[in-house]
Every structure is written in structure tokens, then in C-alpha cells.
Amino acid sequence: MCSQGMASSLSKKACDRLRCTSCDFKVYSFDNFQWDSNTDYLFLRNNVPDFHRLKSNLIPAKGYRGYCCQCSHRSILELTKLEDPNLKWVCGKH
């Protein structure tokens, strides 16, 4: 799992200040968890940002990082570019 923070040309990192432009919420991340395939918009809308409520749909998975806002979620295993046009996450600036 890669570290989080501000990346540079010498140090690749996952952004730790992601924000969703669709729901205008912070993007939360959960180390060593991936999302259950049944996770949907309504579940996120009703439970973000409460980890204890979200945990019912988070599956322990070593090396994964589960990300979510109030409208979208992703499970990531390695450093990935945000290229999905349906995902409206941007860096909230460092």
C-alpha cells in the first residue's frame, strides 16, 4: 500500500485530500479494507462519514485501501490514476 500525502516527481503518493465535486464531500480512505460489492449510493449517503456504520460493508483485505465519499466508492490495491469519467474526485489542494 502506498503512503498518502503530497506527491513529487521523486515520491509517488496517494492524495490524502481528495474531494468529490459531485456530492461536495471529503473522500475518506480505509487502509486494509475493500468495499463489499453490495455497497451502493444509498448506503454511502446514509452512513458516510461514520466508520462504525460503514464497516458493515468493508471487507478486511491486506494491501487494499477503500475510498468513499457520499456518492461513490472504490477499492484500490495499487497506485492508480483517477481516469474514470464517472468519478468526480479531485485533489483538495496541499
pLDDT tens digits, 41-74: 999 999 999 999 999 999 999 999 999 999 999 9
Residue 76 pairs in a beta bridge with 65
Residue 62: predicted pLDDT: 97
- Cα distances (angstroms) measured from residue 27 to each of 8, 10, 53: 21, 25, 16
Domain-embedded: residue 10: no
Domain-embedded: residue 1: no
Confidence of residue 35 (pLDDT cuts 50, 70, 90): very high
Domain-embedded: residue 25: yes
Domain-embedded: residue 50: yes
Domain-embedded: residue 34: yes
pTM of the model: 0.85
Instruction: Give the chain as a 3 state SS string.
Output: CCCECCCCCCCCCECCCEEECCCCCECEEEEEEEECCCCCHHHHHHHCCCHHHHHHHEEEEEEEEEEECCCCEEEECCCCCCCCCCCCEEECCC
Total count of domains within the chain: 1
**Structural domain that includes position 44:** 18-91
Domain-embedded: residue 2: no
Domain-embedded: residue 66: yes
Domain-embedded: residue 5: no
